[in-house]
Amino acid sequence: MKTQHLRQDDTCLNCGHQVPDRFCSHCGQENVDTKESFGHLVSHFFQDITHYDSKLLLSLKYLFFYPGKLTKEYISGKRMTFVNPIRLYVFTSFVFFLMIGLVNHADSPYEVGAKEKSNIKFGKIRKTADRMLDSIRQGKVAPEDTASLRVAAENLKLLAMDTIQNAAHTYDSIQQSLPPHLRDDWGDRKVTLRTLEMREKYGENMENALQDKIAHHYPKLMFLLLPFFALLLKWFFPRKSWVYGDHAIFSIHIHTLIFMLGIVAMLVNLFLHYDALYAWLMIPIYVYFLFSLRNAYGVSFGTALLKSLGILLGYVLGTAIVGLVFVLIIFAIT
């Protein structure tokens, strides 16, 4: 390819620093004439594409066929040879979650279902609830008759749960009318109220709506788990030559591979329709992780096996805790 002529002025047009040679040592821009022909623009475009493709193909080759080597090479300083780990992770995770959305396309989970059925039943439910509440208020059910009151309280709660329209208000009024010792405790009351509010808002599609919200925010959860996984690696492999950022690179590469295998599995499952494929995928992922630890950290197979089990146990427990908090937050704001 014919190169452009150097500018006579050695001041960089991009950052204003002096350019001692063809490229600026401060920002890296080439100090050439800015007047480019269309042919040069096209050739430059293809040169950039093939250059990026070569980096991507080499990164994928190392990532898939040489467990742990991509991390080792990148940490050793070969940064220009491979695609930046974070850039590769962001792109792969974007494609992965986009694929999930396309594969699991369905009717909108936010359309309220069974509203007519609820309205028909609501009149009888409300009248029955009101009669039972009046009996408690008027003392027709003796306060000392705990068994009767408890049965009445449970029946009232079931009546509130059985409807959709005004269910939260019905349940709250029931709780306020009951003696303190028969009311649900604070935690149960908050969860029940929130559940009834969601049922009133989404109808029979409440579970689908909640799942859709969780799936929408799931990439954020995965991004939070990356540094946690790297922290586990640092605890189990406290090597002086590796800083936390090096463990983070290993974590990013492992998660990137998982997303890529997930994409392949979704494409294959479009033809096989065999959902158990995702469960079977865990076996090659674990084997890959085991060999990655062995190669990247330079430990024996036995050490890699023992530490991999410890890391996975910690990761599962941490994911369960973080995931529970995550779901509760989604549940509270949905």
Q: What is the dihedral of CA 11, 15, 16, 20, to 10 degrees?
A: -40
d(CA 233, CA 2): 49
Residue type at 102?
A: L
- Identify the band that residue 114 occupies on the pLDDT scale cut at 50, 70 and 90: very low
Highest mean pLDDT among 7-11, 200-204, 279-283: 279-283
Cα angle vertex 161, ends 160, 164, to 5°?
85
Comparing C-alpha atoms, which of 134, 92, 111 is closest to residue 226?
92
Strands, E assignment, the chain = none
Q: Which residues lie across from 113 on neighbouring strands?
A: 203
The span from the CA of 197 to the CA of 194, in Å, is 5
Q: Minimal CA–CA distance to 177: which of 126, 239, 134?
A: 134
Question: Out of 18-32, 150-164, 289-303, which region has the weakest mean confidence (pLDDT)?
Answer: 150-164
What 3-state class would DSSP assign to 18? strand
Our separate counts of H helices and E strands in the chain read 12, 0
Per the CB < 8 A criterion, the answer to whether 256 and 88 are in contact is yes
CB proximity list for 334: less than 8 A, separation 6 or greater = 198, 209, 210, 213
CA distance 50 to 18: 30
Residue of 104, 102, 57, 113 whose CA lies nearest to 83: 57
Structure confidence at residue 228 as a pLDDT band (50, 70, 90): very high
pLDDT, one tens digit per residue, over 136-171 is: 666 665 555 555 556 656 665 665 555 555 666 766
pLDDT at 97: 84
First-last CA distance in the chain: 57
Q: What is the DSSP letter of 20?
A: S
Q: Which residues are within 8 A (CB) of 220 and not within 5 positions of it... i.e. 6 or more apart?
A: none
Q: Decide: 292 and 71 in contact? Cβ < 8 Å.
A: yes
Three-class SS of residue 110? coil
Residue type for 263, please? I
Pick 193 or 115 by higher pLDDT: 193
Q: How far apart are CA 297 and CA 46, in angstroms?
A: 38
Tell me what the pLDDT averaged over the chain comes to. 76
Mean pLDDT of 122-132: 57
Q: Is 206 exposed, middle or buried (0-12, 13-18, 19+ CB in 10 A)?
A: buried
Highest mean pLDDT among 265-269, 307-311, 321-325: 307-311
Q: Torsions phi, psi of 32, nearest 5? A: -120, 170
pLDDT > 90? residue 69: yes
Task: Read off the pTM.
Answer: 0.66
174, 171, 195, 175: which is closest to 185 by C-alpha?
175
Confidence band, pLDDT 50/70/90 cuts, at residue 100: confident
CA dist., res. 176 & res. 189, Å (int): 11
Contact indicator for 125, 163 with CB cutoff of 8 Å: yes
Give dist(CA 132, CA 168) in Å, integer.
17
Nearest to 88 by CA among 60, 49, 47, 69: 60
Which residues lie closer than 8 Å to 211 by C-beta, 6 or more apart?
109
Rounded CA separation 152/154 (Å): 5
Among 154-168, 261-275, 296-310, 317-331, the range with the most confident prediction by mean pLDDT is 296-310
pLDDT at 235 over 90: yes
* pLDDT interval class at 216 (50, 70, 90): low
Among candidates 198, 151, 143, which has minimal Cα distance to 333? 198
